[in-house]
Amino acid sequence: MNYGVCVQSPEEIDYFGILEEVVEVAYCGKLREYKTILFKCSWMDSMKGMNIHEQYKLVEVNHSKRYPKYDPFVLSYQVSQVYFAHYPSLKRDKDQWWAVFKTKARSVIDAPVGLEFLQEDANEVSSAICAPDEIPDYEDQEDDEDVIDEDDVEADEFETSGDEDAEFETSDDDDVDDEFDDDEFDDDAYDD
- Per-residue pLDDT reduced to its tens digit, 86-99: 877 777 777 888 88
Dihedral (CA of 108, 113, 118, 121) sign? positive
Secondary structure element (H or E) that encloses residue 159, with its range: none
Is 61 in contact with 84 (CB distance < 8 Å)? yes
Q: Evaluate if residue 29 carries a pLDDT over 60.
A: yes
Give the whole-angstrom CA distance, residue 18 versus residue 104.
Answer: 16
**CA dist., res. 69 & res. 83, Å (int):** 23
> How many degrees, rounded to 5, is the angle at CA 131 between CA 130 and CA 135?
65
Compute CA distances 155 → 114, 144, 159, 164, whole Å.
68, 22, 10, 14
Check pLDDT > 60 for residue 161: no
Residue 44 inside a domain? The answer is yes
Give the range of the structural domain holding residue 73, as residue numbers without chain letter: 4-102
| Confidence grade of residue 50 (pLDDT, cut at 50, 70, 90) | confident
Own/partner pairs for 185-189, CB < 8 Å, 24+ apart? Answer: none
For 123-160, what is each residue's pLDDT tens digit? Answer: 565 556 767 777 666 665 555 556 666 666 665 555 55
Please check whether residue 15 is in contact with residue 7, taking contact to mean a CB–CB distance below 8 angstroms: yes
Domain membership of residue 55 (yes or no) is yes
pLDDT over 80 at 71, yes or no: yes
Mean per-residue pLDDT over the chain, rounded: 74
Any domain includes 142? no
The answer to whether position 136 is within a domain reads: no
Helices H, strands E: what count in the chain? 0, 8
How many domains, the chain?
A: 1
- Under the banding of pLDDT at 50, 70 and 90, the label for residue 103 is confident
Any domain includes 137: no
The answer to whether residue 54 sits within a structural domain is yes
- At CA 181, angle to CA 176 and CA 187, rounded to 5? 145
Q: Is residue 50 part of a domain?
A: yes
